[in-house]
Amino acid sequence: MTAQDTADAVPELPATLWRDPEPKRGYDVVIVGGGGHGLATAYYLARNHGITDVAVVDKGWLAGGNMARNTTIIRSNYLLDASAGIYEHAMKLWEGLADDLDCPILFSQRGVLNLAHSPQDVREGVRRVNANRLNGIDAEWLDPRQALEICPILNISPDVRYPVLGATYQPRAGIARHDYVAWGFARAADRLGVDLIQDCEVTGIEVDSGRVTGVSTTRGLLTARKVALCAAGHSSVLAEMAGLRLPVQSHPLQALVSELLEPVHPTVVMSNAVHVYVSQAHKGELVMGAGIDQYNSYAQRGGLHVIQRQLAAALELFPIFARAHVLRTWGGIVDVTPDASAILGLTPIDGLYLNCGWGTGGFKATPGAGWCYADTIANGVPHPLAAPLTLERFATGALVDEHGAAAVAH
Amino acid sequence: MLIECPWCGPRDETEFHYGGQAHVSYPDDPSVLTDEQWARYLFYRDNPQGRFAERWCHGSACRRWFNAVRDTRTHQIVATYRTGESAPVT
Amino acid sequence: MDNEFRLANAGRIDRDRPIPFVFDGTEYLGYAGDTLASALLANGVHQVSRGVHSCRPRGILASGVTEPCALVQVEEPFDEPTLAATTVEVCAGLRARGLSGKGALTSRPDPARYDTMYAHADVLVVGGGPTGLLAALTAARAGARVMLLDDQSELGGDLLAETAPLEGRPPIAWVSGVCAELAGCQDVTVLPRTTAFGYYDDNYVVACERRTDHLGTAAPERTSRQRMWCIRARAVVLATGAHERSVAFSDNDRPGVMLAAAARTYLHRYGVLPGRRVVVFTTNDGAYQAAIDLAGAGVPVTALADARPEVPDDLAKACAAADIEVLAGHVVAGTRGDARISGACLAELRDGRLQGHREVDCDTVLVSGGWNPAVHLFSQAGGGLRYDSQLAAFVPARARQRVFVGGAARGAVTLADCLADGARIGAQASRTVGLSADAAPMPAVLQRTPTPSTALWLVPDPSGDYRRHYVDLARDATVADIVRATDAGLRSVEHVKRYTTVGTGHEQGKTSGVLATGVVATILGVDPAELGTTTFRPPYTPVTFAALAGTDRGALHDPVRVTALHDWHVAAGAMFENVGQWKRPWYYPRPGEDMAAAVWRECVAARRSVAMMDASTLGKIDVQGRDAAEFLDRVYTTMMSTLRVGRIRYGLMCRADGMVFDDGTVIRLADNHFLLTTTTGNAAAVLDWLEEWLQTEWPHLRVYLTSVTEHWSTVALVGPRSRTVLRRLAGDLALDNASFPFMAWRDATLAGTTARVCRISFSGELAFEINVPWRHAQRIWTELCDAGADLGITPYGTETMHVLRAEKGYPIIGQDTDGTVTPQDLGLDWAVSKKKRDFIGKRSFSRPDTARGDRKHLVGLLPVDPDLLLPEGCQLVADAELPAPPVPMLGHVTSSYRSPALGRTFALALVEAGRHRVGRRIHAVVDDRPVPVIVTDPVFYDKEGARRDG
């Protein structure tokens, strides 16, 4: 075997990623939060709308929050029209993203199985598959044997505590390398003239007569015609600087990774009933996510019992994992709304825009959210796909209750 | 986390379930509220980075609800106190 | 020749217990006490694996958990991937092979057992080296409940490889003395082979004990293989030592390059020579003793290159006495050789440049680039780190939890300092838990003041070629890779880690993480302090999935709840359905029947004669107190305070957002005494919900809630002949409609058993729900079976229950609803009080979206083809032709059955403006094809309700 033969070799990353500019004194648009969504928003502002006088400011290193911590699952098989619309838009963008960004992102459309463990799960799964198909999203209902054909290490024995009774399958779903996605957006935005400013913490949002005028930061005041918040778990803290209260709570979400293993797991498996989602990354490590910790937290870590519970459930589904090893666990901060759907749109303050509340679904939405957010910022009205995701829905009751409707998160 | 139940003493967090922000009272008369005000009660809760007065229930033992002030940056619990009492610290 | 690199007398292996083992297909001999690495080295095997990308030969760099490249797959006694040869104990039946980065999982089921222990300690000491031993001893003498964890097979830490006398004796004698005293203390638990890997909030430390692997095929079957220790400690002492690191120089990855301290460990602990001719390369005092000891063992040390311009006098003299040439201001610039080093290139480092290259022959290069305190657990605990330029390392700074760090883990260099730390922090920890403690007396030890090390991370290459200056051997990442990352614009060590994958290997950068920081600092010309480290995360060392899963597997994965009649159901051949944790009979197939046939038969029995069902899993909550009625008025949409004693009322609960949460019946037992039933799956949630409101919103209400689900067994007796059957058991209880009307309850004695009989019907038929104490369930069930035998009484399961209730249009909360359905959507306005000023959810009904008239309503559907069974979950559309996606959807089918009573299929569905569409044709999409269905009222059977009275 030679180095050239190893399929898992790190792909050649771009030799130049981004400049490290000093912040200017003012911009057309300042995006607060240099995660995947912020970077994608900057890129699409420049690419789709020709708005390049843009700064993305981040308090730490680019894409160092949830973008660096997620389990990289990409799918669009959501039940409700509003969710399906924006996630499927994202999916279509994912499918051309490496070319668009001219950067490897290791997008692998290996499919995702969402397992059902009870007759109720089965009903919900079938309902979602049927809705997906009518929404133009690829989806199939599989019986346990068909699921086994997709994932040969799945335990479909009827004798386990919660047997697999079937699964939904989205063939176009998959995984991508999260860091490369962020860097691809960052590099492309940088090349179009966007300033990416790291180690620049926002300490205040400047508002004058109901209109935003800029942000104060640890690197000075940046004036802006428009300010776009894009800070996931820290959204509440930022919004409060502008006197806005959000229907968002921040929780830890943990994940873990194993050592590199010979390929055993060819797809992505999610089991909401027992809180497991797992894939095998292209290098060979098993990447698994857990359920969220129950309490509010900004600590980027959670309790071990959540991991223990998750691994117990994982071994019920995949006995073959028994002697794999956990190399690393970590936590991110997810911003959860009452209906488990995002908030994307305008705020009561002129020129201040809001994108948050993606909960556990932020990564897979990255290009779609960036696209719609950029459009909303550029035009000052919500993009049609984002229209159901406004703040007003909490007052009218028109929630996009994906969680309540299908109990499928992540 | 180790949480000091005001009734039982310090116990592991797995014995408890969480109830979000404390001291949010059900409105006296919901019918007089605007939709916006009602939405505030239903869906809007504080989410501070720092000390947070929040509700816990010792579900695996005494089943009592109580309140805690906890720092969301460190998970350090500054105080716990019974429902109906005001926070001993802020 | 076997064990040709093994010294005759040195080491702590048991020469009376030779153990054959197989590596890469060849049999070798090791001894009890060997690791796979020490046994391979003893047999002259240096190359263990190959680089994951480069495929270059890789040997053994380290001696413990920091090993980056000597990875093996254990194949026998049982497959386990990706273990460092330095951590695998040689055991009976061991077979392993070298791994090039990737392990393999086997489909053989793991036969081992795993378990979990929960423990409390006053003082938990992590690390059984000199610091930890003295800390544990001090705390034990103070009377503390002590736990001492150490990851090695025996305690002593670096003292196992130390020769300098302690209290005038070999150090191991002192270790034995301390261990003996600890063993004699009550309340002291010493756990070897136990690695603390996680440090969580409030001094919760988690460790993995390896209990049987070292026994190999001789491991007892019933003993758990690995045990998780979850320890809550009042104070924690971290004496976790330090990890030696390498320096990035050209070809520093070849087999034969070894950390200096590891060489000393192999020499003294295992009696193994790492090679025959040695060159030493150091940036600090530490490596000198390795050189001197090896020389003392008869191994020529060709040269000792010390990167510091000045060499400590005492060490220089000692080297001279051992005939070791010391080269101050020198480095190893490179190595040569193929599968093993055959020589090294020495050069002088002056002003950042190399000069005076000199080739020497050797088969081993010992390297010490300095020591990284093992701050992993401290950092996990929220402790801060600072860069110590004297040590060129990150050391613990501010602690956030009650934790004390000492010895090499805080940057102590000498044994004397480590011992002093142990005694001091052992006493401190004891005092913080309220014990008066004196530091245990320090054993007499040689004192020496160390000279500062130099921060040399990377040996410059005159040609500028850094493609073979390895930083992370586990990930095959080089200085050139890091240069590429910084050239790309990356400055953060986190970015560099992600760009190069440095530090993501199985040992998570124990030898490479800080080195990478140093290399980046060198390239960017900044201080390492500015860059910091990447985040330390649990676990400290890899932990098997199975150990973390513990005993929560198989039958113990989640509790199984069964009713008092479960054995009867099993004997009757029932198929079961999981409903929450409960096992409920789903249907009772007779020989030759499939589900459809069984359900059909059960339905017919219930509609035409009599049938019975075990309804014991319904949640039951006893509500008592002065304000019970007032409380129920607030939590149910229905008015409950007007319910008369002796009567029963249907009740619906909403969340505050107005969405239906649960339903059930409320029976009034006395003025201040009610019994509620809930759905099976929601019983606990409803009780929690009620308690929450009661305790946090209305503590002034005098109401007491008790779950009585498992106090009462419930049998539903259903069908036109149910009264006949009941009469046979009921003695003088009047069962006629006038005496015992619908929605009433009566206490009775049935077949000698006290029972509460409720006239409730979830089927539309005449029906009785018979509640008896749990322990009497078997008796009443079999009495009913016997009493109804001549009428063909038929047990039925949940599926038949669902058909019967659907024919009546009764929704199942959770099946015909999701979290987005209001009572009005279900057509249950009659169960929503108009009189009550408020109840939970009421205000939400008037929100604009909730008040819409075209929301989705629960309606009935009749497929135009009466044999077509619509799949539950299929979507509904308006037209017979599907437009291009996205297709507007009207709703979905929530329940769908074949009805014996209707002689056809039917369904319930949530349909947009459904009540306005009754009588109209819409389409269900089945297998992507729209099929016509007629929207109907949801009540299909006995609309006038005549049958409930029999």
Cis, bond preceding C539 (omega within 30 deg of 0) = yes
Residues in chain A: 410
Q: How confident is the model at residue A7 (pLDDT cuts 50, 70, 90)?
A: very low
Å between B65 CA and nearest CA of chain C:
7
> C403-405 and C278-282 as β-strands: parallel, antiparallel, unpaired?
unpaired
Q: Which amino acid, C669?
A: L
CB contact under 8 A, B72 and A250: yes
Distance from the first to the final alpha carbon of chain C: 95
| pLDDT bracket for residue B90 (50, 70, 90) | confident
CATH number of domain containing C641? 3.30.70.1400
Closest partner residue to B39 among A248, A297, A395, by Cβ? A395
Domain membership flag for residue B15: yes
Confirm or reject contact between B74 and chain A (CB < 8 A): yes
Residue C881 CB partners (closer than 8 Å, separation 6+): C930
Q: Taking residues C761-766, what's their average pLDDT?
A: 96
3 state DSSP class of C462? coil
CA distance C151 to C128: 8
User: Which chain B positions have a beta carbon within 8 Å of A303's beta carbon?
Assistant: 1, 13-14
pLDDT band for A8, please (50, 70, 90 cuts): low
Which residues form the domain of B51?
2-25+41-82
Q: Which chains touch B (3 or more CB pairs under 8 A)?
A: A, C
In the structure, what pLDDT confidence band is assigned to residue A407 with cuts at 50, 70 and 90? very low
pLDDT at C439: 82
Confidence tier at C1 by pLDDT (50, 70, 90): low
Asked if residue C651 belongs to a domain, the reply is: yes
pLDDT at A402: 83
Domain holding C646, by residue range, is 619-707
Please indicate if any CB of chain A lies within 8 Å of the CB of B18.
Answer: yes
pLDDT grade for A272, boundaries at 50, 70 and 90: confident
Interface contact A159, partner C, CB < 8 A: no
Q: Rounded to whole angstroms, how far apart are CA atoms C264 and C241?
A: 16
CATH number assigned to the domain comprising residue C82: 3.10.20.440
Q: Are residues C856 and C947 in the same domain?
A: yes
In the prediction, which pLDDT does A5 show? 37
Q: 3-state DSSP call for residue B16?
A: coil
Rounded to a whole number of angstroms, the distance from the CA of C442 to the nearest CA of chain A is 38
A317 in contact with B at a CB cutoff of 8 Å?
Answer: no
Helix residue ranges per DSSP H, C400-444:
415-432
Nearest to B35 among A250, A298, A395 (CB): A395
The share of chain B scoring above pLDDT 70, in percent, equals 100
Residues C782 and C910 in one domain: no
List all chains that touch chain A, counting a touch as 3 or more CB pairs closer than 8 Å: B, C
Taking contacts as CB-CB distances below 8 angstroms, the residues of chain A near B20 are 249, 296
What per-residue string of b and e applies to A52-82 under the rule 16 or more CB within 10 Å gives b? Answer: bbbbbbbbebbbbbbbbbbbbbbbbbbbbbb
- Which of C92, C109, C126 marks a domain boundary? C109
Counting one residue from A and one from C, how many pairs have CB atoms under 8 Å apart? 255
Tokens of A67: 């973008």
Domain presence at residue B31: no
Rounded to an integer, the average pLDDT of C128-141 is 97
Task: Work out the average pLDDT over C576-581.
Answer: 92
- Whether omega for the bond prior to residue C77 falls within 30 degrees of 0, making it cis, is yes
Dihedral Cα A192, A194, A196, A200, nearest 10 deg? 180
Contact C232 B75 (CB under 8 A): no
Q: C-alpha angle with apex C943: C939 to C945, nearest 5 degrees? A: 120
The mean per-residue pLDDT over the stretch C1-19 comes to 92
Q: Mutate which of A236, A293, A298, A399 to disrupt the B interface (most B C-beta within 10 Å)?
A: A298
**C10, C105: one domain:** yes
**pLDDT value for A403:** 73
Q: Which residue from A minimizes the CA distance to C484? A: A15
The number of domains in chain C is 5
Three-state SS letters, A203-252: EEEEEECCEEEEEEECCEEEEEEEEEECCHHHHHHHHHHCCCCCCCEEEE
Look at residue B89 in the predicted model and tell me its pLDDT.
82
Same domain, C3 and C97: yes
CB-based contact, B24 to chain A, within 8 Å: no
Which residues of chain C does A394 touch, with a Cβ-Cβ cutoff of 8 Å? Answer: none
Omega of the bond leading into A319 within 30 degrees of 0 (cis): no
Q: What is the pLDDT of residues C684-694, one digit of tens each?
A: 999 999 999 99
Residue of B nearest to A309 (CA): B14
- Residue A7 touches partner C, C-beta closer than 8 Å: no
Residues of A in Cβ contact (< 8 Å) with B58: none
Distance CA B58, CA C699 (A): 17
Give the start-end residues of each E strand in C67-224: 71-76, 80-84, 95-98, 114-126, 146-149, 188-191, 194-200, 204-210
Contact B31 C843 (CB under 8 A): yes
Q: Hey, is the C-beta of A394 within 8 angstroms of any chain B C-beta? A: yes
Specify the pLDDT at position C447: 82
Q: Can you give the pLDDT at residue C442? A: 86
pLDDT band, very low/low/confident/very high, at A408 (cuts 50, 70, 90)? very low
Task: Note whether A295 contacts B: Cβ–Cβ < 8 A.
Answer: yes
Using alpha carbons, select from C359, C183, C382, C160 the residue that is nearest to residue C264: C160
| Residues of chain C above pLDDT 70, percent | 100
Q: What is the per-residue pLDDT for A2?
A: 36
Chain C residues with CB under 8 Å of B59 CB are 688
Question: How close does chain C come to B38, measured CA to CA in Å?
Answer: 8
Average pLDDT over residues C170-176: 96
Residue predicted with more confidence, A406 or C77: C77
Question: Which residues of chain C have a CB within 8 Å of the CB of A140?
Answer: none
Average pLDDT over residues C351-372: 96
Out of C86, C109, C132, a domain closes at: C109
With bands split at pLDDT 50, 70 and 90, how would you rate the model's confidence at C950? confident
pLDDT category, C125, cuts 50, 70, 90? very high
Mean pLDDT of C209-220: 94
Chain B nearest-CA residue for A337: B43
Inter-chain touch C697–B26, beta carbons under 8 Å: yes
- Residue A300's closest chain B neighbor by CA? B73
B9 belongs to a structural domain? yes
Whether residues C659 and C745 fall in one domain: no
Task: Say yes or no to pLDDT of C198 above 60.
Answer: yes
User: How many CB pairs lie under 8 A apart between chains A and B?
Assistant: 63
Token couple for A366: 């990255």
Q: Which of B5, B29, B42 would you mutate first to test chain C, the one with the most C CBs within 10 A?
A: B42
Residues C582 and C464 grouped into a single domain: no
Tell which of B17, B44, B65, B77 to mutate to test the C interface (max C CBs under 10 Å).
Answer: B65
Name the residue facing C699 among B30, B59, B83 (closest C-beta): B83
Residues C755 and C769 occupy one common structural domain: yes
Which tens digit of pLDDT belongs to each residue from A293-303? 999 999 999 99
Q: Is the CB of residue A335 less than 8 Å from the CB of residue A236? A: yes
> A126 is written with which tokens?
């079938």
Alpha carbon of C894: minimum distance to chain A alpha carbons (Å): 8
C725 and C698 in a single domain? The answer is no
For CA atoms C735, C737, C742, C743, the dihedral sign is negative
Task: Please tell me the predicted confidence (pLDDT) of residue C840.
Answer: 98
- Which domains can be identified in chain A, with CATH numbers? 21-72+179-248+338-396 (3.50.50.60), 108-174+249-336 (3.30.9.10)
Contact B72 A396 (CB under 8 A): no
**What is the rounded CA–CA span in Å between residue C256 and residue C783?**
83
**Which among A295, A305, A337 has CB closest to B18?**
A295
Higher per-residue pLDDT: C360 or C554: C360
Same domain, C593 and C634: no
Classify residue C686: in a domain, yes or no. Answer: yes
Q: Name the residue among B33, B64, B75 with its Cβ closest to that of C201.
A: B75
ipTM given for this complex: 0.98
Mark which residues 784-823 of C lie under 8 Å from A by CB: 814-815, 818-820
Residue C62 lies in a domain: yes
Option in C201, C382, C838 nearest B30 (CB) = C838
A134/C885 Cβ within 8 A = yes
CATH number at residue B17: 3.30.2270.10
**Is C515's pLDDT higher than 70?**
yes
Cα–Cα distance between C29 and C904 in angstroms, integer? 77
Q: Please give the Cα distance from B57 to C695 (Å, whole number).
A: 10
Residues contacting residue C221 through CB under 8 Å, at least 6 positions apart: none
Q: State the total domains in chain B.
A: 1
Domain end position, chosen among C90, C109, C128: C109
Contact residues, A window 40-99, toward C, CB-based 8 Å cutoff? 60-62, 64, 68, 81, 84-85
Answer yes or no: is pLDDT of C440 > 90. no
What's the whole-number mean pLDDT along residues C96-115? 94
Is A242 within 8 Å of chain B by CB? no
Q: Which of B4, B16, B36, B38 to mutate to test the interface with C (most CBs of C within 10 A)?
A: B38
In chain C, which residue's Cα lies nearest the Cα of B74? C382
